[in-house]
Structure 1
Amino acid sequence: MDLVNQFKLDGIDIDWEHPADMQQGQDYLYLLSKLREALPSPRYTLTTALPAGEWALKNINLSAAQVYLDLINVMAYDFSGPWVNLTGHQAQLYTPSSPHNEAARISCQSAAHYMLSQGVDPKKILLGIPAYGRSFLGCNDINQPCSGRGGEDGTFDYCDLPRPGAKEYHDDAIGAAYCCGGDGGFVTYDTPRTVQQKARFVTKMGLGGLFYWHITGDKRGSKSLVETGFKALHDM
């Protein structure tokens, strides 16, 4: 609280990735409760970043947590990456009708529906947009084994996508984009087209809005994910 007041900040965001069992979930709630005591609303803002997967969210009493929170930033990305044995979309809007593995069952839609089913106020939910792509070398589609990762630790900033020599594709049925070719292999990421889809979903579900990680990876002008999301949300 002293630090917040010293620099005249709005409040605190808790990015605990992530309570791994029910006891840690209780500890997480206790932390939120003590922070809210020290940083009373509405003078201060208390937010949190949470994973999109039910495998993590089930350890938290979300209905109780939202009492202390102004906003919940749902990290609706990193569904697939080097920790899974087959390629997949990292930030798909909808769960496919036949997911090829457990990671592919997670989507923006599944995260939103789970949180709403737990009694979370939809206006407190912000849906995360990645301003980067995840790379899988030696493959050109989902559900394939890969031979390695391109970019920096397997990622490319969105401003560097699609990769030189690669072709960009969209799967509108599940709200996902990717490029194939060049030095990235199969790279999964968001584009203005998928962000527009997600903005429409946010509006339809009555959610609070969108957030982005991280802003320095974005492009400028008409291809900006942030600008696209803003316009899509406010033109509706």
Structure 2
Amino acid sequence: MSPSFVNAAYYPCWRIYRDLPPSSLQLDFISHVLYAFVLINTDGTLRFLDEHADCTIAADGEQGCLSAVSKLKAHRPWLKTLVSMGGGTGSAEFPAMAADPAARETFARSCREFVDRWGFDGVDIDWECPETPQDGANYMALLHALRRALPRPRYLLTTALPVGEYCLRHLDLPTAGHLLDYLNLMAYDFVGPWTDVCGHQGQLLPPPGKLEHTHPNLRNSCHGAVEYILSRGFPATKLILGIPVYARSFEGTHGVGQPFTKAEEMDYNEMPREWIHQASIDQSAGAASFVDRSPGGKGFVSFDVPETVQRKAEYVKWMGLGGLFYWTGVGDIKGPESLVWAGYQALHSNSQSS
């Protein structure tokens, strides 16, 4: 594993119930594993999301997925492991906790104790997300407390943030760039049940002449979000571009910009293989899709394929970014259809193009 680029993967503990333990990750192509999720209390203490999955279920010959992730490092000295705090449904306590100086210190100390107990290398903060100026200030105070408790070079400190200006505009990005090792940019979910029309959920570029997006203050492409963050002083080499290892489908639609009757989500490895093999590549957007016209079909389906991941990896090199990450690593397919492998190969090839 070359240290020059990050190729990170999130491991969601609940996937153990689908017989996908941490060892099912494509570890030969992964530099960092981020364990999702551990939850927080408003007083700064921690709690398990699923104590059975985390600590007791049989996983890779260990008791619990936390021990199984720690075990991964035994034969892979290059591998870094982080525990991700919060998540999309686990962020409600962040605003109150981060607003309380005593709770912030408790949280930072609890994170250090957790990392040391389980043999991890650091912490990933997945607060989704600071939406007010006060939340933004408290987020920065939280990062300061965490960095004091998790000093370099022994510990890593990262965060996952969305592409929306509704969040990013409240953050002191230059200071965040100093405190963080990486910012994991969730460069996906540009469309979904919350939007009026369907489209590409993780397009690299906004296609010219097409309906872009109806959500206010949301960058509608990977490039738009990257430009915004870099223009505000965040270092490019610490910015990691996210890859969705899942599809979004929009029933009742056959193309970008159409209103839909139902929106659903499925992991990449749950998709019919013909969708991947027969995907249409929008070269102007750097996005892939398939239209399921079968009776009761899913309609327009947006997802990444190896070709679009390769292009995103080339974009990372062209822009001088730090690498890629995948939500989730266990949603991938092994072999030539693998997104993790495609990203790794492209990041470590000699060519560079936009």
TM-score class, shorter: over 0.9
**Aligned-residue offset at 1:163:** 6.7
User: Could you tell me which residue of structure 2 aligns to residue 224 of structure 1?
Assistant: 338
Provide the C-alpha distance between the structure 1 equivalents of 2:339 and 2:202, rounded to a whole number of angstroms: 14
Q: Structure 2: 5+ residue runs without aligned partners?
A: 1-111
User: Which residues of 2 match residues 22-171 of structure 1 at below 5 A?
Assistant: 22-100=133-211, 101-103=213-215, 105-149=219-263, 154-162=264-272, 167-171=278-282
Identity %: 47
User: Could you tell me which residue of structure 2 aligns to residue 179 of structure 1?
Assistant: 290
TM-score of the superposed pair, with normalisation by structure 1: 0.93
Structure 1 6/136 Cα, relative in aligned 2: closer, same or farther at 3 Å? same
Contact 1:163 1:184 (C-alpha < 8 Å) held by counterparts: no
Q: Secondary structure of the equivalent of 1:143?
A: coil
Structure 1 162/54 Cα, relative in aligned 2: closer, same or farther at 3 Å? farther
Provide the C-alpha distance between the structure 2 equivalents of 1:162 and 1:7, rounded to a whole number of angstroms: 38
Contact 1:133 1:188 (C-alpha < 8 Å) held by counterparts: yes
Structure 1 3/48 Cα, relative in aligned 2: closer, same or farther at 3 Å? same
Contact 1:47 1:73 (C-alpha < 8 Å) held by counterparts: yes
**Aligned-residue offset at 1:99:** 5.0
What is the number of residues matched between the two proteins?
Answer: 232
Q: Which has the larger radius of gyration?
A: 2
Q: Look up the equivalent residue of 2:307 and give its one-letter code.
A: R
Provide the C-alpha distance between the structure 2 equivalents of 1:191 and 1:55, rounded to a whole number of angstroms: 29
Q: Look up the equivalent residue of 2:229 and give its one-letter code.
A: M
Q: Look up the equivalent residue of 1:159 and give its one-letter code.
A: N
Q: Structure 1: 5+ residue runs without aligned partners?
A: none
Q: Secondary structure of the equivalent of 1:93?
A: coil
CA deviation map 1:192-231 (0-9, x unaligned) = 0100110110000000000000011111111100000000
Provide the C-alpha distance between the structure 2 equivalents of 1:208 and 1:139, rounded to a whole number of angstroms: 36
Q: Look up the equivalent residue of 1:156 and give its one-letter code.
A: M
Give RMSD over aligned pairs. Answer: 1.7
User: Could you tell me which residue of structure 1 aligns to residue 29 of structure 2?
Assistant: none
TM-score of the superposed pair, with normalisation by structure 2: 0.63
Structure 1 222/34 Cα, relative in aligned 2: closer, same or farther at 3 Å? same
**Aligned-residue offset at 1:61:** 1.3
Q: Look up the equivalent residue of 2:228 and give its one-letter code.
A: Y
Greater mean deviation of Cα atoms: 101-110 or 21-30: 101-110
Structure 1 163/85 Cα, relative in aligned 2: closer, same or farther at 3 Å? farther
Provide the C-alpha distance between the structure 2 equivalents of 1:33 and 1:165, rounded to a whole number of angstroms: 45
User: Could you tell me which residue of structure 1 aligns to residue 16 of structure 2?
Assistant: none
Provide the C-alpha distance between the structure 1 equivalents of 2:113 and 2:279, rounded to a whole number of angstroms: 48
